Amino acid sequence: MSANINVTNPEKKKRILLVAANPSTSTVTQWPVGFWWAELTHPYWAFTEAGYEVGTRTLVDVLNSQSTLFSADRDYANSRYDYILNNLRLRQGAGTLSQALNLAEQRVAEAIAAGGTLLTDDEVLDVMTELLLPQATVLTPNSREARALAPEADNLDACAMALLERGAEFVLITGTHENTRDVANSLYTNRRLIETFSWERLEGSFHGSGCTLASSIAGLLAQGLEPFSAIHEAQEYTWQALAAGYRIGMGQQLPNRLFWARDEQT
């Protein structure tokens, strides 16, 4: 297959962008330098002859494009926030929000008392699937939560497909509640399983592992990491925090999220 064939759209040529980024003056002599015209025209001709669609831009064009992209990302994030907020206000005005929130609060209390997360009420699940899932970049349910969010599915793979259909871009189903030697976390996107991460199962019962994982992913995404790297690094961080976990009294173990600071001090 020729290298210039666009495999995603064969009817459209692959595109090449040439950026003229040489400084107008030398940083050493301060003399005008620019660039040799042949440095631009020769690759332009070579790529065009090979069948590529070639465009040229300056560094200023690139910076302007980046600024436009950042503005679009900001506007998109604001729109997602406004969508959720307006839906909540609509439900509040219709008198259906308070009941759902009260049920959610009750279920959270039951979950804390039971030492884990329980998703059992249809109204609470409806609020989550209608408002939150379509806005999610990465959804991190454990296996029990995945089955509750997609009760029509007959296995965890089918659960992940259903959650992707409802709008989540990535679904990471964690295997802490499964009866396996190691913990297997399965990552899905684009209607398929793309990676299974295996982690040594630690002894004991933990409270806050899922929260640590989800917040770590969110923080790394906010710092600009692409989702796959953020998901992998967050799992490594979470496992280390759990391995360094501690207990207060006779309760469940808690993740030590500052394990890295303790290691530096020692």
What is the C-alpha separation between 235 and 187, in angstroms, rounded? 12
Residues 6+ apart with CB under 8 A from 13: 4, 6, 51, 52, 53
The one-letter amino acid at 106: Q
Query: What are the sequence ranges of the domains in the chain?
Result: 15-65, 117-265
User: 71: Cβ–Cβ under 8 A, 6 or more apart, which residues?
Assistant: none
Superfamily for the 117-265 domain: Ribokinase (3.40.1190.20)
Distance CA 31, CA 51 (A): 38
Per-residue pLDDT of the chain (266 residues; tens, 9 = 90+): 455 555 556 677 777 877 776 666 766 777 776 666 677 778 888 888 888 888 777 666 777 787 888 888 788 877 877 776 777 677 667 776 655 555 555 554 554 455 444 455 566 677 677 777 888 899 999 999 899 889 899 999 999 999 999 989 999 999 999 999 999 999 999 999 999 999 999 988 898 899 999 999 999 998 989 999 999 999 999 999 999 999 887 778 899 999 888 655 55
pLDDT of residue 212: 95
pLDDT at 263: 55
